[in-house]
Homo-oligomer: A and B are copies of this chain.
Amino acid sequence: MEKNRHSLKHIAKLSGVSLSSVSRALDPARSHMVRPELRTKILKFVNEENFSVNLSARRLRLNKAEVITVIVYLDSFKHKNFSVEFVSPSAGRDDIQCLSAAIKARHYDMKLEFIVPGQQLPYHVFDRNRTDGVIFVSYYGTEYVDCLEKSKLPNLYMSRYIDTGRHDVGLVGLNREPGYRQAIEALLKAGHRRFAWFSPPMQTSLRVNINIINDLFHEYGIFDERLFLPTICNYYDIQGILKVRRDVDAIFCSNDVIADWVVRELRRNGVRVPGDVSVIGYDNDPAYHGEWTNNVATIEAPKSLMAETAVEELLKRINDENAEERPHILLDTIFIPGDTALTQVKGD
């Protein structure tokens, strides 16, 4: 009795139809093949019995794992030039959460693998039998590309920081300029004149943001060498610099964590934010937005959209042999003024 409770056969018996009708009724792609009234009746029993198809059976039959492997690079946080207080606690989980949601929405399972610096992934991770595709997150290495080519396993790199110029891999990345351009124009319009850049010394992942800001500052004629500071290694550097440099009215920071520190330090020094100085971060990090936060101005990286796009692109390649091998998709960033950037003309 218990045995048959959860099978198409059982539902079929209850509804007085054949099991293939139940199968059809349950698959959105084939449900049109079944008479609406019949479908309604079947669904009634499906809900009553709390039935859902046996995934193992389905996957065996379809010869598909319905699994997307997400490979996350676990940065150690520990750097010579970058203190850990500049790493957001969201860092490790934001992308995973977005990908998890996107993958679930497509009825796939997410299989997580972690790349730890200096450690190799076992070969079986890329077994075609066990996964249909791979998404690398925040990883820039290519040591697995050969292996992926060999087993023809669709794959994709997704990252907020990856170099947009890379064409050696499939890529879902960010076009960071639009957000920065919007921000600069809004700030200029509101009367800002002395623009600063705060970031840790260049790492691969920051280089691009620094270059973009550098170019844009020059383009808009607001570059000032004394205010361009890719030298902020920790909170104490912020403390020190803000004590000395008071000739600033807009500070771009390489992420929201740093921006938040800057805001707090300025306010402790009696400087009004955004009244006297506007502070702009990067990432739209949930830890610094919403209640109990300073709600820093930021350049939004559309994380959910990135995850959805990555999954969608991967599925294209999974389901269609002829899909483009190496998609190269860049999503635009957007300026979000938050509560720490003045975008109205001062004095209005």
Decide if A88 is an interface residue (CB 8 Å cutoff): yes
Q: Which of A126-163 contact B (CB under 8 A)?
A: 127-130
- Tell me the complex Cα distance, A114–B260, Å: 26
CB of A97 to closest CB in B, whole Å: 6
**Whole-angstrom distance from the CB of A232 to the nearest CB of chain B?**
15
Q: Point out the residue from B50, B57, B235, B291 that lies within 8 Å of A78, measured CB to CB.
A: B291
A79 CB contact (under 8 Å) in B91, B92, B292: B292
Q: Is A19 an interface residue (CB 8 A)?
A: no
Indicate if A60 sits at the interface (CB-CB under 8 A). yes
The A285-320 residues at the B interface (CB cut-off 8 A) are: 286-288, 290-293
Contact size class for A?
35 or more
B-binding segment of A105-113, A164-172, A328-336: A105-113
Q: Does A90 contact B (CB under 8 A)?
A: yes
Let me know if A29 is at the binding interface, CB within 8 A. no
Q: Which B residues are in CB contact (< 8 Å) with A97? A: 74, 114
Q: Closest approach, in angstroms, between the C-beta of A190 and any C-beta of chain B?
A: 28
A124 to B51, CA, bound (A): 9
For A220, the chain B residues whose CB sits under 8 A away are: none
Q: A246 to chain B: closest CB distance in Å? A: 20
Would you list which residues of chain A between 241 and 266 have a CB under 8 Å from chain B?
260, 264
Q: In the assembled complex, how far is the CB of residue A80 from the closest CB belonging to chain B, in whole angstroms?
A: 6
* Other-chain residue from B55, B89, B127, B292 in contact with A52 (beta carbon distance below 8 A): B127
Task: Write the nearest CB–CB distance from A160 to chain B, whole angstroms.
Answer: 16
Checking B54, B100, B123, B286 against A129 with a beta-carbon cut-off of 8 angstroms, the contacting residue is B54
> A54-85, CB under 8 A of B: which get 1 and which 0?
11110110000100000000101111100011
A6 contacts B by Cβ under 8 Å: yes
Minimal Cβ-Cβ distance residue in B for A289: B78
Contacts of A114 in B (CB 8 A): 97, 100
Interface assignment of A35: CB less than 8 Å from any CB of chain B:
no
In addition to A50-B127, A52-B127, A109-B109, 18 A-B residue pairs with Cβ atoms within 8 Å of each other are A52-B129, A52-B130, A55-B129, A55-B130, A56-B65, A74-B97, A76-B286, A77-B90, A77-B287, A78-B290, A78-B291, A84-B89, A84-B287, A85-B85, A87-B89, A88-B89, A109-B111, A235-B235
Closest 7 CB pairs of A and B: A92-B93, A56-B59, A56-B60, A78-B292, A87-B89, A92-B92, A56-B56
